Amino acid sequence: METLRMVTVVAPVNIAVIKYWGKRDENLILPLNGSISGTLSTNQMCAKTTVSFSRNFTRNRIWLNGVEETFENRRLINCLNEVRRRAKEQGKISPEELEYNVHICSVNNFPTAAGLASSAAGYACLVASLSKLYQLDGDISSIARQGSGSACRSIYGGFVEWIAGDKNDGTDSCAVQVVDSNHWNEMRVLILVVSENKKKTGSTAGMQTSVATSELLKTRVSQVVPKRLADIKQAIYNKDFKTFADITMQDSNQFHAVCLDTYPPLVYMSEVSHAISDLIHQINEEAGKTIVAYTFDAGPNACLYLLEEHVPLVLAAVNHVFPTTQNADTYFTGIPVTLDSQLEKKLPKIVERTPWDPNALRYTVHTKIGEGPKELTAADHLLGANGHPTPMAF
């Protein structure tokens, strides 16, 4: 039997601090404004993808989280076509191999239903693995962008900027690293997964309606984002947490204001989300300095950026206001942390607050800034020697 050429890659989630919202080209996925995000460590959350091609594969096939899907998704096809187009140009793959069908198998190690940027990690992983299979050189973020806009930022580690670009063909719309994952080594991220199952309008449809109807979005794109991009990059270079946090929270708030300015309005934050934002402002106020920032994407979950030294206190405060009846090991996931036992002494006003009924939060993830996609070894392949998913793929 022929040995299949096979590549397996893990790729990270990223959480924007300056949000991407609105496209100037739907097919190429070109944004109205630039954006910046932190790439999260793949130790806690990641997508994992195995790709292979063979003369024996009779059609293109894809399995996602153990279930076979049809190979009809326009964005998936655009990514594969662009990888093959570049591979042909670069000439390392034979014309015969370029014609072979592919098998793709991908899993997320976190629940996709939780709305945790799964498409960004998924498309970054798809494009990074295909690019290795087809031996591409050069920047691949502009290919990942064509799967899902935010995916282009998951191609690099650390803090990453997606340059909006202004060319019609999108060749200048790609991601660049602002700083690597070691630069602000103390930075931590807490994800608070809010208990709620309501189906919200997806990002793609939501931003289309915003572009068509929101006046505030126009002002945001032309008057607000350019300065914020410059200022937050400076704050990241200088490790100036207060400026970083202020801009992050203001940009999240403006993004949700644009959502409300959309007609009909898009409501992504829930009552619990607003209570979390309120709590964070109260923590900063009582601490006498800004020690934590929130940001919310197109869903109710909160993502908190904070420095390592403040994780035990902030998590103790969150846990006081949002108690849980769950076991600690399934509730506090990710990097281990011991809650600060001096909450009452350090933040007495928070302790005076009446807690919510238990289980408003489903679980928490403690993670940090990490690196971009990484190739794994044969032991991690999700496809077997016959090109079909192994038990690991389910």
Residue nearest to ligand DP6 (CB): 149
CB of 82 or CB of 297, closer to ligand DP6: 297
* Of the candidate residues 11, 19, 284, 294, the single one contacting ligand DP6 (CB under 6 A): 19
Which amino acid appears at position 308 of this protein?
E
Q: What is the DSSP letter of 100?
A: S
Verify binding: residue 273, ligand DP6, rule CB under 6 A: no
Judged by CB under 6 A, the stretch of 146-154, 168-176, 353-361, 369-377 that binds ligand DP6 is 146-154
* Of the candidate residues 35, 54, 118, 333, the single one contacting ligand DP6 (CB under 6 A): 35
Q: At its nearest, how many Å lie between ligand DP6 and the CB of residue 32? A: 11
Q: How many residues bind ligand DP6 (CB under 6 A)?
A: 14
CA distance linking residue 56 with residue 224, whole number of Å: 53
* Of the candidate residues 181, 297, 321, 347, the single one contacting ligand DP6 (CB under 6 A): 297
> Which string of DSSP letters, residue by residue, matches 7-38?
EEEEE--EEEEE----EEETTTTEESS-EEEE
CB of 216 or CB of 392, closer to ligand DP6: 216
Which residue, among 118, 115, 124, 183, has the nearest Cα to 156 in the 3D structure? Answer: 124
Verify binding: residue 295, ligand DP6, rule CB under 6 A: no
CB of 298 or CB of 304, closer to ligand DP6: 298
Total residues found in the chain within this entry: 394
Beta strands 61-64 and 67-69 are antiparallel
Verify binding: residue 16, ligand DP6, rule CB under 6 A: yes
- H or E element in which residue 101 lies: strand 101-108
Q: At its nearest, how many Å lie between ligand DP6 and the CB of residue 298? A: 4
Q: Alpha carbon of 302 to those of 86, 190, 195: distances in Å?
A: 38, 8, 11
Verify binding: residue 298, ligand DP6, rule CB under 6 A: yes
Window 231 to 270, contacts with ligand DP6 (CB under 6 A): none
Window 170 to 229, contacts with ligand DP6 (CB under 6 A): 203-204
Tracing tokens 């990241």 back to the chain, one arrives at: 236
Signed CA dihedral, 322, 40, 176, 233: sign only = positive
Verify binding: residue 103, ligand DP6, rule CB under 6 A: no
- H or E element in which residue 334 lies: strand 332-334
CB of 149 or CB of 157, closer to ligand DP6: 149
* Of the candidate residues 22, 149, 158, 387, the single one contacting ligand DP6 (CB under 6 A): 149
Beta strands 101-108 and 61-64 are parallel
Verify binding: residue 41, ligand DP6, rule CB under 6 A: no
CB of 35 or CB of 262, closer to ligand DP6: 35
Q: At its nearest, how many Å lie between ligand DP6 and the CB of residue 190? A: 18
Angle at 80 between CA 78 and CA 85, to 5 degrees: 90
SS (H, E, C) 179-195: ECCCCCCCEEEEEEEEC
Q: At its nearest, how many Å lie between ligand DP6 and the CB of residue 150? A: 3
What residue ranges bind ligand DP6 (CB under 6 A)? Answer: 16, 19-21, 29, 35, 119, 148-150, 203-204, 297-298
